[in-house]
Every structure is written in structure tokens, then in C-alpha cells.
């Protein structure tokens, strides 16, 4: 399918729908405008494959996702944009063993409880997302949300911005288990891991995390990247809590503050090639 505009209205409508392992569809330069509860711009399920090239999708309505992959389906998106405006209307919805690849994509979710990238599944499933040179933005929810199940997220040259929270990992029907690598990316907001969920975060190759609120992750590796703590408000300082921290030439910048809070739940043995660097104004201190 090349060019043109697809407009739908009514609940559960689909702009492009593919189901089954034999289903393989490609749309190029198409504009999808969806209106209605649980409508979807592109919807792949049960092993189907959908490729979107330079496609524009806009949805209005509760739970009206831009692009959805469920039950082992796959979505590939190159260029284009997704805009959702309803409650719980995620930009990209990845569920139950499905996979998404996005390059040069702009995803904006504006409604309450609507994430730019949402991932969920029962125990024993793995949801994956590879996002490069793309922007993930949520106005009223975490930009990336994992709600149960195992998820793997690879960010490269991405910009991720939430409503004060860029990442949420929480229990769903099963605990959430996230492995996330951020390469040369910008992350804005706090990161939260709740319940019995686990988050394994790697920052590398110049990634910048602008930490604006108290955050907790299970395991954090900082390789030649920076964590920038925002200034305190009313004398309240930001805290980053992690069970295990590994810093390989990583830097923590703490402007306007006179103390730095990095809490570790467990003591780690020091290693010669690991260091934690604190920058305050123009003064630098290093602990090995």
C-alpha cells in the first residue's frame, strides 16, 4: 500500500490489520486517522508482520493505540510519526512475545496513562523494542512502561521524555523484568521500579540521563555516560537508589547541590577499572 489517506471512526476500528504467520503487509507514505475507543492505526497479531515506511498515524479515543503488536507479531517502522490523544492510548503497544523496530520515528502520546512505548506480557514471554534515532514523548505518563513480563529495549540515538518519569517497570500478571541499553541517547525524568519487578539499565557511549526526581533501578551500569541531577526544590535533594552500581568512566553531575545521593542496597567489591565521578560546579572528585 503506497500513499493515500485512511480515515476510520467507531470503536475497535483498524487502519491496517494483519493476523497470522502468513500475513505480511507494507505501507509507505500513508496517513491513518483513527477515531474511536480502542481503534488502532496499525495492528499485527499472531505472528503477522507489518512494515510502515514514512507513515503518519493519529488516533483519538480511549485505549486507541498508534501501532500495536500482539501474540508474537512484529512491527517495523521507518520514519513517520505516531500521535495519540486518548486515555490509555499508547503510541506503540508491544504485547505477548511481540517485537518492534523503529528508526527515525516520532512518537507522542498525550493522554493520561498513555505511554509512547508500552510493553506487557504474561510470565514466559519476551517483548522486544529496538529504537534508533527516534523520539519517544509522553505528556501524562511514563514514556516507556513495562507492565509485567520480560522486556528488552535497545535505544540508540533516541530522545525519551515522560511526564517527569521516563521509565516505569511494574508488576502486571507477572513481575516485570526489563533489560534496557541506552546508547548515545537522552533520557529525561525519573526511572521507577516497583513491586517485585527488576530493571537492568545500561547507559553507554555518551548517553545523558537528566534525573529530575527520585529514582530507583535494580542494576545500573554507567559507561562513559552522564547522570545529571536537577537542582533541589525547597531543600529536597534527588536520590538515585540501586542495588548494584557499576561505573566505567561514568559521571554524575550535581549542579547547585552540596551533596550527592547514590544509595546502594548491597555493597559491591571495588574494582580497579571502575570509578564514580562527582561533578559539582567546576570541581571534580573521584572515588575509586
Nearest to 11 by CA among 37, 48, 47: 37
Beta carbons of 217 and 194 less than 8 angstroms apart: no
- Give the pLDDT of residue 262: 56
With 50 as the cut, is the pLDDT of residue 249 above it?
yes
pTM reported for the whole predicted model: 0.89
Taking residues 96-106, report their average pLDDT: 99
Q: State percent of the chain over pLDDT 70.
A: 86
Q: Give the residue with greater pLDDT, 257 vs 26.
A: 26
> How confident is the model over 109-135, as pLDDT tens digits?
999 999 999 999 999 999 999 999 999
Cα separation, 38 vs 81, whole angstroms: 19
Side-chain half-sphere exposure of 268, counting CA atoms within 13 A: 19
Burial string for 191-215 (b: 16+ CB within 10 Å, else e) reads bbbeeebbbbbbbbeebbbbbbeeb
Cα separation, 9 vs 32, whole angstroms: 11
Q: State percent of the chain over pLDDT 90.
A: 81
Average model confidence (pLDDT) for the chain? 89
Beta carbons of 198 and 177 less than 8 angstroms apart: yes
CA distances from 271 to 28, 248, 263, 268, 288 (A): 51, 10, 18, 9, 8
> How confident is the model over 147-199, as pLDDT tens digits?
999 999 999 999 999 999 999 999 999 999 999 999 999 999 999 999 999 99
Q: Is the dihedral of CA 56, 54, 153, 69 positive or negative?
A: positive
Cα separation, 138 vs 110, whole angstroms: 6
Amino acid at each position: 500500500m503506497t500513499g493515500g489517506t485512511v480515515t476510520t471512526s467507531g470503536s475497535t476500528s483498524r487502519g491496517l490489520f494483519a493476523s497470522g504467520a502468513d500475513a505480511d503487509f507494507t505501507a509507505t507514505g500513508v496517513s491513518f486517522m483513527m477515531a474511536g475507543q480502542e481503534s488502532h492505526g496499525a495492528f499485527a497479531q499472531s505472528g503477522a508482520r507489518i512494515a510502515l515506511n514514512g507513515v503518519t498515524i493519529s488516533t483519538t479515543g480511549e485505549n486507541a493505540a498508534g501501532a500495536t503488536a500482539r501474540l508474537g507479531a512484529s512491527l517495523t517502522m521507518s520514519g513517520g510519526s505516531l500521535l495519540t490523544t486518548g486515555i490509555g492510548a499508547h503510541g506503540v503497544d508491544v504485547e505477548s512475545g511481540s517485537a518492534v523496530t523503529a528508526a527515525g520515528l516520532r512518537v507522542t502520546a498525550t493522554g493520561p496513562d498513555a505511554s509512547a512505548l508500552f510493553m506487557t506480557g504474561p510470565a514466559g514471554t519476551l517483548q522486544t523494542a529496538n529504537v534508533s534515532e527516534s523520539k519517544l514523548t509522553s505528556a501524562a505518563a511514563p514514556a516507556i512502561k513495562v507492565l509485567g513480563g520480560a522486556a528488552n529495549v535497545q535505544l540508540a540515538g533516541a530522545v525519551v521524555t515522560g511526564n517527569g518519569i521516563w521509565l516505569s517497570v511494574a508488576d502486571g500478571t507477572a513481575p516485570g523484568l526489563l533489560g534496557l541499553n541506552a546508547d548515545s541517547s537522552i533520557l529525561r525524568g525519573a526511572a521507577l521500579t516497583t513491586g517485585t519487578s527488576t530493571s537492568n539499565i545500561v547507559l553507554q557511549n555518551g548517553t545523558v540521563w537528566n534525573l529530575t526526581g527520585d529514582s530507583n533501578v535494580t542494576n545500573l551500569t554507567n559507561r562513559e555516560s552522564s547522570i545529571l541531577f536537577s537542582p533541589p526544590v525547597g531543600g529536597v535533594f534527588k536520590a538515585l537508589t540501586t542495588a548494584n552500581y557499576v561505573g566505567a568512566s561514568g559521571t554524575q553531575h550535581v549542579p547547585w547541590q552540596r551533596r550527592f545521593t547514590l544509595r546502594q542496597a548491597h555493597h559491591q567489591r571495588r574494582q580497579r577499572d571502575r570509578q564514580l565521578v562527582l561533578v559539582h560546579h567546576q570541581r571534580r572528585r573521584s572515588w575509586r
